Amino acid sequence: MTNFTKNLIVGAAALVVAAGTASAQMMKADVPFAFQVGGKAMAAGTYSVRNVAVNNSNGVLQFRDGNGNSAIAMPKNRHNASKEWKSDGSPRLAFECGASGCALIEVWDGAGVSAYGMSRPKTVDMETHIAVVVMRPDKGD
């Protein structure tokens, strides 16, 4: 793992904190790299993240930046969040990153037992790594 990769993961994980109510709350995430979600390319930046269909067993997630750009993603499954993630209760986004870029692969709201698994884009990258971004409540600022 390169120093850049280590710094990226550590820096992204240290950016934000979580609190508030469960799945219907809006969260904010500072994503320090471009990424792909729901088949749409998104630039690095600060995103509001919310579940717009909390009654759906897998949810429907909306990602919106401060410029009005948005993407909708439907998780492909729900699974138990990792013990490491649940230990501090901070909601998280996980990205798989490689030479062709980063793609969102997992979302956890910080409150429930389950995390959302996202469809992974097909890639030919041989070396990939996971980058984790911790989210915080979106207070509308």
> One digit per residue, pLDDT tens: the chain, 141 residues?
554 444 344 333 333 222 233 345 789 999 999 999 988 999 999 999 998 876 656 689 999 999 989 999 999 999 999 999 999 899 999 999 988 889 999 999 998 888 999 987 776 566 788 889 999 888 876
The residue written with tokens 């998104």 in the block is: 42
pTM: 0.74
Task: Give the integer Cα–Cα distance in Å for 37 and 117.
Answer: 12
Question: What end-to-end distance do the CA atoms of the chain give, in Å?
Answer: 36
The domain spans of the chain are: 3-137
Nearest to 61 by CA among 37, 44, 45, 40: 37
User: Strand 129-134 and strand 136-137: pairing?
Assistant: unpaired
| Residue 126 near residue 102, CB atoms below 8 Å | no
Q: Which residues contact 32 (CB under 8 A, 6 or more apart)?
A: 8, 11, 12, 15, 44, 133
Tokens representing 118? 């996202």
Question: Coil, strand, or helix at residue 130?
Answer: strand
Question: Coil, strand, or helix at residue 11?
Answer: helix
Q: Which residues contact 57 (CB under 8 A, 6 or more apart)?
A: 78
Q: How far is CA 115 from the centre of its chain?
A: 10
